[in-house]
Amino acid sequence: MDKIIIHGGKKLSGTIPVSGAKNAALTLLPCALLTDEPMTLRNLPRLADIDGFQHLMNQFGVSTTIAGSRPEDFGRVMTLEATRITSNVAPYDLVRKMRASILVLGPMLARMGEATVSLPGGCAIGNRPIDLHLKALEAFGATIELAAGYVRAIAPDGGIPGGSYSFPVVSVGATENALMAAVLARGTSSLHNAAREPEIVDLCNLLVAMGAEIEGIGTGDLVIHGVPRLHGATYRVMPDRIEAGSYACAAAITGGEVTLAGARAEDMAATLQALRDAGVHVEVVKDGLHVAANGKLRPVTISTAPYPGFATDMQAQLMALLCRAEGSSVLTETIFENRYMHVPELNRMGAHIETKGRTAIVHGVPKLTGAEVMATDLRASMSLVIAGLAAEGETQVHRLYHLDRGYERLEEKLSLVGADVERVGD
């Protein structure tokens, strides 16, 4: 199993290209199930999760072809064609590694009238039930059955009629599944207290490009007028706001200066505000964002929240940065109850972090020291890399399969801006 070796203490300087968004791409891929015409996605990141979802689509009989596959290229172009769906079952072996697999449930139900999907896996960051996915589909007229670790959704004869559902709490995945189910419904559907994340907007924009009729895009109230069929489309995946924020933290903790080419400031306002509050200079430039820090970081107090609040997917990376702030920061995790597994690993590197329930107090320290650390989930992995970039000596980050799920060619991008980082086999 591979590991990353980092020799810290080097200021990052230069330009990092921001890849297509993992969380958007995994939502856009299942849209191919909604039409028998080709759908082409551009700026698709090279990630293990994308490869896994491609295999899942192949399981259904969807053909996939990839262009832009030269080793020196970041991103790819994938065309998916679901002319004839040969299976409506997403098996355990393909679904268990990736929670996003549940997103085939809505489009398969809409297109085929029936779908059977294994209950999903993914990062072990807490309880992430799919009950809201199922309740929304039931509100649209589907029948839901749970048995032997699988969920089966069945539409009435003639397809789901559509309906109205109000989410008791904001759920990104459930909003996405419900949207994809509703676009081919026989009637009009509405979603209230829907997620507003930029990735949801990206999904809506693709569906509209395919012929869907959606009102209220970018708000918490969505109205979807079902149409008889959707057509193919070519669409560019939005830039990854979490990757951009992660590299901003990496530059800041080293006292460096980087340009994040392609980053979209309007998608990451809460992250940029947190960085500015911590004393990091952030400027919107023509081709993205310019981030600079002088090594003097201020403590902050912040809570994670659904968009437009501070993203839970940025909590671990910001925590790593705040380990070097001059004072004590307070972070509160409101989304997932088990998302501090990186804390013991950061403390192994000389950080001073205390946790109590969903709150973490990060006492800034004069220095971090390299150590062998173990990645526990995707964003926790990146927090250890960020800490390692500023640590004295050598840091070894194990369990890279987490990083490979969400960061396209991480060590190559960091090397572009002067980091001393290398991937080696254990």
Of 31, 123, 204, 249, the catalytic one is: 123
Contact 421, 400 (CB under 8 A): no
Which among 236, 258, 273 is the end of a domain? 236
Domain hosting 11: range is 2-18+239-425
In angstroms and rounded to an integer, the radius of gyration of the C-alpha atoms of the chain is 21
Contact 342, 316 (CB under 8 A): yes
Coil, helix or strand for 106? helix
Which among 181, 215, 236 is the end of a domain? 236
313 and 336 together in one domain: yes
Band of residue 149 on the pLDDT scale cut at 50, 70, 90: confident
Looking at residue 74, its pLDDT comes to 77
Q: Report d(CA 21, CA 236) in Å as an integer.
A: 10
Number of domains in the chain: 2
315 and 353 together in one domain: yes
Contact 400, 1 (CB under 8 A): yes
Note the residue count of the chain: 426
Band of residue 97 on the pLDDT scale cut at 50, 70, 90: confident
Which tens digits make up the pLDDT trace of 303-326? 999 999 999 999 999 999 999 999
Q: Report d(CA 341, CA 328) in Å as an integer.
A: 20
144 and 200 together in one domain: yes
230 and 243 together in one domain: no
160 and 270 together in one domain: no
The answer to whether 23 is a known ligand-binding residue is yes
173 and 303 together in one domain: no
Distances (CA, A) of 135 to 27, 167, 193: 19, 9, 14
266 and 135 together in one domain: no
Top-ranked range on mean pLDDT: pick from 112-121, 167-176, 372-381: 167-176
The answer to whether 156 is a known ligand-binding residue is no
Q: Report d(CA 422, CA 375) in Å as an integer.
A: 16
The structure tokens listed for 210 are 């395919």
Does the pLDDT value for residue 127 go beyond 70? no
Share of the chain above pLDDT 90, in %: 84
Which tens digits make up the pLDDT trace of 338-384? 789 999 999 999 999 999 999 999 999 999 999 999 988 888 999 99
Is 123 noted as a catalytic residue in this protein?
A: yes
Does the pLDDT value for residue 125 go beyond 50? no
The answer to whether 132 is a known ligand-binding residue is yes
What mean pLDDT is predicted for residues 110-126? 74
Q: Report d(CA 267, CA 425) in Å as an integer.
A: 36
261 and 243 together in one domain: yes
The answer to whether 129 is a known ligand-binding residue is yes
For the chain, give the mean pLDDT.
Answer: 94
Neighbouring CB atoms inside 10 A of 338's CB total: 15
Share of the chain above pLDDT 70, in %: 96
The answer to whether 128 is a known ligand-binding residue is yes
> Among 93-97, 241-245, 295-299, 345-349, which is the least confidently predicted range?
93-97
Band of residue 297 on the pLDDT scale cut at 50, 70, 90: very high
Which tens digits make up the pLDDT trace of 276-292? 999 999 999 998 999 99
The structure tokens listed for 78 are 């994938």
38 and 175 together in one domain: yes
71 and 210 together in one domain: yes
Does the pLDDT value for residue 120 go beyond 80? no
33 and 114 together in one domain: yes
The answer to whether 130 is a known ligand-binding residue is yes
Which among 191, 208, 236 is the end of a domain? 236
List the CATH number of the domain containing 319: 3.65.10.10
249 and 197 together in one domain: no
pTM: 0.95
What mean pLDDT is predicted for residues 291-304? 96
The answer to whether 335 is a known ligand-binding residue is yes
The structure tokens listed for 385 are 């890399």
The answer to whether 99 is a known ligand-binding residue is yes
Q: Report d(CA 41, CA 24) in Å as an integer.
A: 11
The answer to whether 379 is a known ligand-binding residue is no
